[in-house]
Amino acid sequence: PQSIREQLLLVAEISVRLSRLNLCCPYALQ
């Protein structure tokens, strides 16, 4: 099982990737 810190880092990484994708392609997430 992953630790809470690893889960938080994973969620943060996904959030950053989604935000970058949204900046590059504003209509990608709509």
- Are 14 and 22 spatial neighbours (Cβ–Cβ below 8 Å)? no
pLDDT in tens, 7-18: 999 999 999 988
Lookup result for tokens 């809470």: 4
> What's the first-to-final CA gap in the chain, in angstroms?
33
pLDDT at 30: 55
Confidence check: pLDDT of 28 > 60: no
pLDDT at 3: 96
- Are 16 and 22 spatial neighbours (Cβ–Cβ below 8 Å)? no
Quote the domain boundaries for residue 19. Answer: 1-30
Higher confidence at residue 15 or residue 29?
15
Give the H/E segment covering residue 24. helix 4-24
Share of the chain above pLDDT 90, in %: 43
**Reported pTM:** 0.58
Count: domains in the chain: 1
pLDDT at 23: 76
